[in-house]
Amino acid sequence: MAEPIIELKDVSFSAQDREIVQHTSLQFEEGITTALVGPSGEGKSTVLKLAAGLLVPSGGAVFFRGKNMAAMNRAQNMAFRQEGAVVFQDSALWANQDLFQCLELPLKIHFPNMKAEDRKARIAEVVKEVGYTKDVHVRPAMLSMGEQKLIAFARAMLCRPGLLFLDEWTESLDDTAAKRLIGLVKKLQAEQKTIIFVSHDLRIIKNLADIIITIAGGQPGLIVTKDQLVENENLSEIIESGVALGGIP
């Protein structure tokens, strides 16, 4: 069996005197799309951020290709950051920079020898891919929440990542924009990219996920394949009711 690209081993995470994730062990296989689902406030986004190396566990360890993230040197960490990209639920665009600057920074960091005109061309390419058609020389505050999400997705695509972490990535988007991003994710799946995403939309989960993991009370519960979800109506109802009503048996 191939080594997982990301592995959580007995991971816990606490904040403000509350244990949000408790003794969680999970493996994410390379080239597989995994959906983290469950009630709001039960730890899905925290698990995603731990897997992405954005949060430091209070217990246990997170591994990238068998290497403990906490033990990575600077070069290893930079390689991970280049390969992995995150779309945050709140988009997380820098308020004091315009959109072009927000998009240009990852290219400057990971490709310091890239020429300015090449950075400009790459930015134009990803902005077109996500369907953003307005001025890129404005601050994020001038955009709607949906437009900010498009720019956040474009930023994640800039360095052609092999590993994506998507947190409620279609939230605030209209149907046309959501379908465009879903199409981009399908294209990445065809290229055997690894995708881990959080969503409350069961249609998207059924459409895209190879593996579905329920998270409740800061711990994984059900782990099912797409085929199992499609074939077993009871499983689908359990997950749907858990997402909507706040409790997964």
DSSP characters over 166-189: EESTTTT--HHHHHHHHHHHHHHH
Q: By the 8 A CB rule, do 43 and 62 touch? A: no
Q: What is the pLDDT of residues 65-89, one digit of tens each?
A: 999 999 999 999 999 999 999 999 8
- Lowest mean pLDDT of 90-94, 149-153, 228-232, name the range: 228-232
Q: What is the pLDDT of residues 139-148, one digit of tens each?
A: 999 999 999 9
Percent of the chain with pLDDT over 90: 72
In DSSP terms, 94 is beta-bridged to none
In DSSP terms, 84 is beta-bridged to 163
Q: What is the pLDDT of residues 168-203, one digit of tens each?
A: 999 889 999 999 999 999 999 999 999 999 988 888
| pLDDT higher than threshold 60 for residue 166 | yes
Interatomic CA distance for residues 8 and 64, integer angstroms: 9
Q: Could you tell me the pLDDT band of residue 242, with boundaries at 50, 70 and 90?
A: low
Q: By the 8 A CB rule, do 230 and 209 touch? A: no
| pLDDT higher than threshold 80 for residue 246 | no
Q: What is the pLDDT of residues 52-69, one digit of tens each?
A: 999 999 999 999 999 999
Q: Could you tell me the pLDDT band of residue 2, with boundaries at 50, 70 and 90?
A: low
Q: By the 8 A CB rule, do 12 and 61 touch? A: no
132 burial via Cβ count (<10 Å: 0-12, 13-18, 19+): buried
Interatomic CA distance for residues 170 and 193, integer angstroms: 19
SS3 for 48?
helix
DSSP state of 77: H
Locate 227 and state its tokens: 């085929």
